[in-house]
């Protein structure tokens, strides 16, 4: 990952974007060409998908963002008190960094200056967020890493000698399967020193009705977000999906432990994708799996931490007890 741009308070680092485009084509070829059909949710987030996700976060039904915001607003100072000072703040999947502002402000109050290292797949999001943050906070320096989580994590240690507070918020962990989450938290632990902390935002198991409306909202924003995957195939790979042939589906499975998202074919069709030089046949009722959003109980959060040789130092819930922010420290 070459260092691509420098200014006194902002630097960014980017991985090879050609490789990323190839991997989208590969994922579409593999995912639509085998059973059960699937498209990986990491491809939701092109510019249009990122904007739709920002709109999801504002929806009345999508309680996750508000619940986490409430926790961070109330407890940011308490979280920071439990971290070594000074600390570098890193964030996996930072997006617009809106949710991070409370942490940034608490850290600037505590230590005056702060290095913030956001990791996100979207370069444009990183740039926009950095500009807004730098305009608002003197004393802040940003090194943004435009990459997938794993590359970002590998790079983090090189970016600072200070202890790190690694924030992984927004229930982004939910988009991993339980097995992948265990593995990934283990990977974060490997990138942590003895004084580092991991701040994890996790959506909790709850009533299926609340979950279904959060992932199948009345305005249809989540449906557009989901179908944006097909729009991307059309725009980037010369696909011929008719979006009207597909409906959004959100189903609660695993006893409230997972919301499964996908697209259901409403009309038999054959779809050509020029970049793959391949056509895919779909029958009415065929399903393309697009995302899992896994939910945890509090004991499950503790055992996730424990399996990675971490312990829950403290955890905070919102007033409706829907969402949990947990501070994890090495054993």
Angle at 170 between CA 168 and CA 175, to 5 degrees: 85
Q: How far is the CB of 84 from ligand AVI (least distance, A)?
A: 28
List CB contacts of 7: < 8 A, sequence separation 6 or more: none
Residue with Cβ nearer ligand AVI (154 or 224): 224
Q: How far is the CB of 171 from ligand AVI (least distance, A)?
A: 4
Cis peptide before 36 (omega within 30 of 0): yes
Tell me which H or E stretch contains 105.
helix 101-111
Q: Which of 28, 64, 71, 165 binds ligand AVI (CB under 6 A)?
A: 64
Q: Which of 50, 88, 143, 171 binds ligand AVI (CB under 6 A)?
A: 171
From the list 66-74, 108-116, 169-177, 307-315, the region that binds ligand AVI by CB under 6 A is 169-177
Question: How far is residue 138's CA from residue 282's CA, in Å, rounded to a whole number?
Answer: 55
Our finding on whether 200 is near ligand AVI (CB under 6 A) is no
Per CB under 6 A, contacts with ligand AVI among 109-168 are none
Token output for 80: 């920071």
Residue with Cβ nearer ligand AVI (119 or 271): 119
Secondary structure letter of residue 242 according to DSSP: -
Our finding on whether 223 is near ligand AVI (CB under 6 A) is no
Helix axes 208-215, 63-81, angle to 10 degrees: 100
Q: Which of 97, 147, 175, 228 binds ligand AVI (CB under 6 A)?
A: 175
Our finding on whether 174 is near ligand AVI (CB under 6 A) is yes
Angle at 163 between CA 159 and CA 164, to 5 degrees: 65
Our finding on whether 52 is near ligand AVI (CB under 6 A) is no
Token output for 327: 């501070």
Which residues contact ligand AVI by CB under 6 A?
A: 56, 64, 170-172, 174-175, 215, 222, 291, 293
């Amino acid at each position: 990952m070459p260092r691509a741009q420098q200014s006194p308070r902002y630097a960014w680092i980017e991985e090879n974007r050609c490789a990323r485009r190839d991997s989208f084509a590969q994922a579409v070829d593999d995912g639509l060409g085998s059973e059960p059909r699937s498209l990986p949710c990491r491809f939701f987030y092109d510019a249009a998908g990122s904007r739709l996700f920002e709109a999801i976060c504002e929806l009345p039904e999508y309680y996750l963002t508000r619940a986490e915001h409430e926790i961070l607003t109330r407890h940011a100072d308490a979280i920071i008190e439990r971290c070594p000072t000074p600390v570098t703040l890193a964030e996996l999947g930072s997006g617009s960094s809106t949710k991070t502002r409370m942490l940034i402000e608490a850290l600037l109050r505590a230590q005056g200056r702060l290095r913030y290292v956001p990791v996100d797949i979207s370069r444009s999001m990183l740039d926009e967020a950095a500009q807004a943050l730098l305009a608002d906070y003197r004393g802040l320096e940003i090194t943004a890493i435009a990459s997938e989580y794993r590359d970002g994590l590998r790079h983090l240690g090189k970016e600072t000698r200070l202890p790190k507070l690694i924030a992984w918020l927004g229930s982004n962990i939910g988009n991993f399967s339980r097995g992948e989450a265990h593995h990934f938290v283990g990977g974060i632990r490997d990138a942590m020193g003895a004084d580092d902390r991991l701040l994890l935002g996790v959506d909790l198991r709850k009533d299926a009705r609340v979950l279904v409306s959060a992932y199948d909202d009345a305005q249809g924003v989540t449906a557009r977000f989901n179908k944006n995957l097909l729009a991307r195939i059309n725009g980037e790979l010369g696909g011929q999906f008719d979006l009207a042939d597909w409906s959004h589906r959100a189903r609660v499975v695993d006893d409230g432990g997972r919301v499964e998202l996908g697209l259901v074919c409403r009309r038999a069709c054959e779809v050509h994708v020029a970049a793959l030089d391949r056509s895919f046949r779909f029958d009415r009722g065929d399903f393309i799996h697009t995302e899992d959003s896994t939910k945890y109980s509090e004991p499950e959060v503790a055992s996730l931490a424990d399996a990675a040789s971490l312990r829950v130092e403290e955890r905070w819930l919102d007033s409706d007890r829907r969402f949990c922010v947990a501070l994890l420290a090495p054993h």
